Amino acid sequence: MDAFTTLTGRVLVLPEKNIDTDQIIPARFLTATSFDGIGEGAFADWRFDAEGNPLDGCVLNEPRAADSPVLVAGHNFGCGSSREHAPRALLGFGFRVVISSEIADIFRSNSQNVGLLPVVLPEEQHLALMAMDGEELTVNLEACEVRTSTGERYPFEIDGFARHCLLEGMDRLDFLLSQEQHITNYEEHHERQDSAAAG
Binding interface with another protein (CB under 8 A): 15-18, 20, 22-23, 26-28, 30-35, 45, 50, 75-76, 79-85, 102, 104-106, 109-110, 113-114, 159-161, 171-173, 175-177, 179-180, 182-183, 186-187, 190, 197-198
Q: Which is nearer to another protein, 6 or 82 (CB)?
A: 82
Residues in the chain: 199
Task: Return the SS3 of 31.
Answer: coil
38 contacts 44 by C-beta, under 8 angstroms: no
Q: Which is nearer to another protein, 102 or 137 (CB)?
A: 102
Neighbours of 104 (CB within 10 A): 23
Q: How far is the CB of 130 from another protein (least distance, A)?
A: 12
Task: Return the SS3 of 47.
Answer: helix
Residues with Cβ within 8 Å of residue 21, at least 6 apart in sequence: 78, 79, 80, 81, 83, 85, 86, 107
The conformation of residue 66, written as its DSSP 8-state character, comes to G
Q: How far is the CB of 63 from another protein (least distance, A)?
A: 25
Q: Which is nearer to another protein, 144 or 147 (CB)?
A: 144
Closest CA to 92 of 28, 20, 15, 1: 1
Distance between CA 187 and CA 42 in Å, rounded? 41
Q: Which is nearer to another protein, 61 or 109 (CB)?
A: 109
Q: How far is the CB of 87 from another protein (least distance, A)?
A: 8
Q: How far is the CB of 108 from another protein (least distance, A)?
A: 9
Q: Which is nearer to another protein, 7 or 35 (CB)?
A: 35
Q: How far is the CB of 51 from another protein (least distance, A)?
A: 11
Residues with Cβ within 8 Å of residue 99, at least 6 apart in sequence: 70, 71, 72, 73, 119, 120, 121, 126, 129, 139, 146
Q: Which is nearer to another protein, 10 or 75 (CB)?
A: 75
